[in-house]
Amino acid sequence: MKIAIVAAEVAPHAKTGGLADVIGALPAAFKRIGHQPSLIVPGYKSILQKVEAKPLLSGLSIPMGDIDEPFSVSLAHDRQGVPMYLIEHPGFFERDGIYGERGADYPDNLRRFIFFGRAAAFAAAEIIGPDVIHAHDWHASATPIVVRADAALRQKYRDALSIFTIHNLAFQGVGDPADFPLLGIDASYFSMNFLEFYARMNLMKGAIVLADGVSTVSPTYAREVVNDPELGFALEGVLAQKKANFVGILNGADYNEWDPAKDRDIAATYTPQKPDGKRKCSRALREMLKLPNREEWPIVGMVTRMTEQKGVDLLRDAIEPVMELDLQLVMLASGDAALAKFFKAAEQKYPDQIRVILEFDNVKAHQIQAGSDAFLMPSRFEPCGLTQMYALRYGSAPIVRATGGLRDTVSEFDAASGTGNGFVFEKFEAAEMVAALSRAVATFRNREGWRRLMANCFAADFSWEAAAHKYVDWFARLRKERGFG
């Protein structure tokens, strides 16, 4: 099966979050189980500077309103050898950022990514001829829209399956009605049944309606966004109408990058059978951050965005009772300026217990995973989450709120039975989070219990092959239902 994957990010070259990790790993998993994946991504400066790209198509253009936007397509390969087609438009993509710079979005993002989705649909039809075209998140949502709403593309994709995957429903690609002509489709599609959304245009809504199948990144999140209006962001009814053609497929973890047995970024490698290297990683993390060497206290790590979605405000509200626990907190986070200011002030107030790094650094992310004893994710909502999967691989017990993919991957440790791989709290309340942290600290003091917990963490397996098989089985069912060959 030829599977063309369309996305705005790909690790390690163009990354702002978990979407890039998925796109950096899922295609290779498809390849390992016998299929023919390919990637279509924007030709960002950050990619063109790092990969060898061969010109493939030139002199192309996409009419967008009154302007023809020129572009070309070049061919590179990702780190696993999967073909990666780059949509090159210097004005749109050869910028320093992906979505913006210095904390501000680019004002033309809607235009940039409508263009990208349309160009990707054209390129996939001309170069790949896919059996499945699989678009990810709102930045690629123009692809499933135009492959069904554009008459010429609809003919080219008459035997292909169109799939749309939602990674975060909070970001939908909403624009003014005046932006609708940028899609180049009939005006009838600006209606309540398609892209119209409270008198505005909603790209994600259009993709959901027009795609043959829609997925999201965990089974629990799929249920939550249909049943909870707060998490459905006004699209819960649209998703419910997809019925069996809306599914949740849990993301996997890229164990090629995230594996303490072969991680070159950490102080010492270690395995479930020989875990002693983790203690060396903890000492190295404390030394790097100039934290007192209190080995009787657990290090609680966080690698996150500094946003309310990630529950960082919950930690802010509970910082005093958290600091009364015998623990040290290491945060690698960037985002909201007010939250960042608060935690830097807390670092000054609690110099023996808190360290805050206000920038994303992939090497430090690995070092925090390896050096932490526990890993805190108090998310308000979490479509899937990948860092808790990485934490489990590194023998760091996740402390999570039971939402989305966190509920699907972490279970409460029970010392009596020896089951469970972390600490879970249900309500989005500061007291609940503090209680979960307190249970973790108490368990850490019981060395035998903690060794059992670490063993359970190490035993968790969320490989991408399992997710790839589920996608392929779903694709096959949808193709059969639609009478495709």
Give the pLDDT confidence score for residue 82 in this predicted structure.
97
Q: Which CATH architecture has domain 2-252+465-481?
A: 3-Layer(aba) Sandwich (3.40)
- Strand order, beta sheet including 132-136: 54-64, 67-77, 83-88, 36-42, 2-6, 132-136, 161-166, 213-216, 246-248
Give residue 484's pLDDT band: very low, low, confident or very high (50, 70, 90): confident
| SS3 of the chain: helix, strand, coil, percent, to 5 | 40, 20, 35
Condensed to tens digits (0 to 9), the pLDDT of residues 330-368 reads 999 988 899 999 999 999 999 999 999 998 888 999 999
Q: Give dist(CA 300, CA 56) in Å, integer.
A: 48
Q: What is the CATH number of domain 277-461?
A: 3.40.50.2000
For the chain, how many residues are written? 485
DSSP 138-183: GGGTHHHHHHHHSHHHHHHTTTSEEEEEES-TT---EE-GGGGGGG
Q: Give dist(CA 122, CA 300) in Å, integer.
A: 47
Q: Give dist(CA 422, CA 412) in Å, integer.
A: 5
Do the domains spanning 2-252+465-481 and 277-461 agree at the CATH topology level? yes
Task: Classify residue 415 as exposed, middle or buried by CB count within 10 Å of its CB (0-12, 13-18, 19+).
Answer: middle
Condensed to tens digits (0 to 9), the pLDDT of residues 106-155 reads 999 999 999 999 999 999 999 999 999 999 999 999 999 999 999 999 99
Return the sign of the alpha-carbon dihedral for residues 253, 254, 260, 265. Answer: negative
pLDDT average, residue stretch 308-316: 95
Condensed to tens digits (0 to 9), the pLDDT of residues 61-112 reads 999 988 999 999 999 999 889 999 999 999 999 999 999 988 789 999 999 9
- Strand order, beta sheet including 397-401: 354-357, 328-335, 299-306, 374-377, 397-401, 423-425
Question: Would you list the domain boundaries of the chain?
Answer: 2-252+465-481, 277-461
Distances (CA, A) of 297 to 31, 395, 396: 44, 16, 14
Quote the DSSP letter at residue 382: -
